[in-house]
Amino acid sequence: MKHLRLMALLVSAVIAGCATAPGPTEPQLGQSTSDISEAGEGRARARANTELASLYFERGNLGVALEVLRVATAADATYAPAHGMLGLVYMNLRENQLAQQSFERALRSAPNDPDINHNYGWFLCQTGKEAESARYFLQAVRNPLYPTPWKSYSAAGQCALQKDNLKDAADYFGRALKLDPDEPNALLKLAVISYRTGDLPEARRLITRYNRIVEPGAEGLWLGIRIERKIGDKNAENSYANQLRRRFPSSREYQQMQRGEYD
């Protein structure tokens, strides 16, 4: 579930990027006025259908989104946001080969597009290619027009953490927090790393900030319990434990607490 929650945070920026119109295409030598007009109309249809598909995708209607995107790519096969959006849809449908083909085709047309790079990086991360994913997250943040580079740094940290690469993960999460001190995933995961490396004061500072910014889920409450237990603050530990018991009684974290599996 935590990957799905993270994905929900990342997709909002992706959808906006897919709906952004590229710059005007320069007429080619020997291209007639009617050809230029038809090309412009095709691009407009592709853009409009991609925007429509992103709305269906956001609502979870993947089948309709897929059909609309097929119309978009038929109207203009070179429109990168449509192929990038197809990659997202196929990724959510677990059609990994088709997702990869769509992302790669999108990047051939728009190799510097930050949203497409970010999403392809996340796709690689979720399909066992965490080491390869960093290249695409870093390509995304190199674009000076990218409005949310901290999300790509945070995602890169998540992927490094999946491979238990604490050093790189901490670096990426730290970069995310320099750009956005309230980036929730970076705060939570950097608190996890601080706890695992024995820096309890820093872990406490980060989890406290995280719990003030968002309503904590089971993972955040469970981490708070373990931090306070090691520090020896029984009142703080009980406060976190009561919240976990009341709000997430069926969670894996609550079951671990019940069994006394704190580490």
pLDDT digits (tens, 9 = 90+) for 199-219: 999 999 999 999 999 998 999
Q: How many CA atoms lie within 13 A of 99 on its CB side?
A: 18
* Mean of pLDDT values over 157-168: 96
Residue 148 belongs to some domain of the structure: no
Mean confidence (pLDDT) of the chain = 87
DSSP state of 21: P
Q: Which of 110, 133, 149 is the last residue of a domain?
A: 110
Q: Which of 53, 86, 110 is the last residue of a domain?
A: 110
Number of helical H runs and strand E runs in the chain? 14, 0
Residue 68 belongs to some domain of the structure: yes
Q: Which of 110, 132, 164 is the last residue of a domain?
A: 110
Q: Which of 17-26, 155-164, 215-224, 229-238 has the lowest mean pLDDT?
A: 17-26
Residue 3 belongs to some domain of the structure: yes
d(CA 193, CA 174): 11
Neighbours of 209 (CB within 10 A): 16
Pair 1, 96 in one domain: yes
Residue 139 belongs to some domain of the structure: no
How far out from the chain centre does Cα 170 lie?
17
Neighbours of 108 (CB within 10 A): 11
Residue 225 belongs to some domain of the structure: yes
- What local confidence, expressed as pLDDT, does residue 37 receive? 57
Residue 29 belongs to some domain of the structure: no
Q: Which of 1-5, 125-129, 254-258, 259-263 has the lowest mean pLDDT?
A: 1-5
Residue 127 belongs to some domain of the structure: no
- What local confidence, expressed as pLDDT, does residue 39 receive? 61
- What local confidence, expressed as pLDDT, does residue 40 receive? 80
Q: Are 174 and 161 in contact, with CB atoms under 8 Å apart?
A: no
Neighbours of 17 (CB within 10 A): 23
Residue-range definition of the domain harbouring residue 226: 181-263
Pair 85, 190 in one domain: no
pTM of the shown model: 0.80
Tokens 């392809």, residue located: 120
Pair 102, 185 in one domain: no
Tokens 């965490």, residue located: 130
pLDDT at 237 over 50: yes
- Tell me which residue of 19, 3, 94 sits closest to 53, measured CA to CA: 19
Give percent of the chain above pLDDT 90. Answer: 83
Tokens 């603050």, residue located: 233
Instruction: Enumerate long-range contacts of 209-212, CB under 8 Å, 24 or more apart.
Output: 209/182, 210/184
Neighbours of 4 (CB within 10 A): 7
Pair 91, 7 in one domain: yes
pLDDT tens digits for range 137-159: 999 999 999 999 999 999 999 99
Residue 137's identity, in one-letter code, is F
Output 35 or 45, whichever has higher pLDDT: 45
Residue 89 belongs to some domain of the structure: yes
Output 122 or 25, whichever has higher pLDDT: 122
Q: What is the CATH number of the domain that holds 261?
A: 1.25.40.10
Q: How many domains does the chain have?
A: 2
